[in-house]
Structure 1
């Protein structure tokens, strides 16, 4: 069992990483709750809902099942969950449990943040990708015009990462999650980045995965503690996400996974960085690794003007000007404001490099 603590403006919460945690959640609660409301999706329900229930037999609990996939981060689903919470008599001393990946965590966290003006919730991530979204207290739902545009900063009271749940992931889900780990490696150091690229996902062992997860979690922990509300260095966690969110919005949520879009976005950020800073970065090495591990780079077939318009509605844009996190080298980042003309040029040249 490994444990980290994350400090925030109203206190702190712990992150536990280990095996079998889902069976004994009650051991980690530091207060009693009037009722527990589990939110999960129809994939995770079949795999782990009963396991979590076993550790909560002394509690009054209910659950709500959402369809798996990004489409569930929708205002209609959010309203349905809120209605269920009211109907079952949830009160301010209740606990919401987010059991699942990033979609479940974002939705359940936003429900918790807004139900009766805020009640406790915990995160039980069941994907690699959710190591990122479950930490830091950013919760949200999507709007057709942009990803995560409706949300809040609302930290959980605990994060419980059961490594055993990752054994059920598909190859596509592994790819999706590993892209965020690569992002954190680029934020951290060239050494960690090179180490992660030395791994082939098809043969990634659990012990090695846990090492990389802890490294990624520590990067996120340090940054969110330094900048809880994303006024400064926390924006570095958006590396690769300016294009990624635009791709998700344009292609339709769920048609490309978040991590697959981030992988393309990281390549684009490196491409732009090389051109803006006149430096040599590991574009070719990352592209080769992504290709070898079956990332869908061919998905970048979208219209340049449409992508730029999506970028302008992203929450990181200011006054319709596009901000991008760029790299001078792994571990050394900067934020730049780019004009439409500059972005169009970078997108056109990037498209040629992907062929």
Structure 2
């Protein structure tokens, strides 16, 4: 089996579903704290699948992690577990430090102890795959080359600083203890099952509910957009064939300004589900005060993973965003379950 942490979240949940679609893949022990962004409804199709074992808990619980490793003896750990929303990290950084730094430390130490006690063959096969973000690299100007794996770390938010710290821990455990790790730093993910506080799902749902489409500042912040299904395939490839101790940047080769992303979504909705009054959803765009420390541009150079492992994204932004919008139109029950009273309170606080 493999142990997946944070497997009820957006990327982790998609990875679990993607992994178990292959009948020959091992089973998954799925450890998730079920914070506001963890959603078991994402995994509803696995309810009767014996290969999926869900455990409610956190990576900072040493006794629980030790017990899961001892009982299930996984041949790999894929660590998605993290607090990941920049805005929330600005309002409450302590939880980000606790989960992303202290939690990762605990997971590494439990895994290292487990790995040390494996026999020679299983020890050689074991992998710890740490999933991280391009935000650890800081911000780029319009003229700067894209982030490579050797770019210096320059995190600018409590979220990115906490992820940078976790990356450093993972690197240190490899160089100090020989612990078999690989790290991937991904660009902005989008796709099905995305909690609607992030830009793309927020815009889709607000548009459909005749609400403002909030755009920070001038909307010219640039991100590289990676379809979550492509990210899952990259993780599988790196987990299977990545060189130990290495970092691989995973990107979609799709740099887009936030305002352009929102206008694209509006155009697709105009086609697939037109407004009753016949007007464009773009009329709902509203510019709001920029957030503190907002990075201007991220861009991923994903040539290393293509050169070494032959991976390249299958989706363009045009194909991926159309699939994403269609998924939200086709899954109103999942959306209704997510949009709780506490979530609406958060939106009101953040975008007042």
TM-score, normalised by the number of residues in structure 2: 0.29
Of Structure 1 and Structure 2, the greater strand share is in 1
Q: Greater relative contact order (Cα 8 A, min sep 6): structure 1 or 2? A: 2
TM-score by length of 1: 0.29
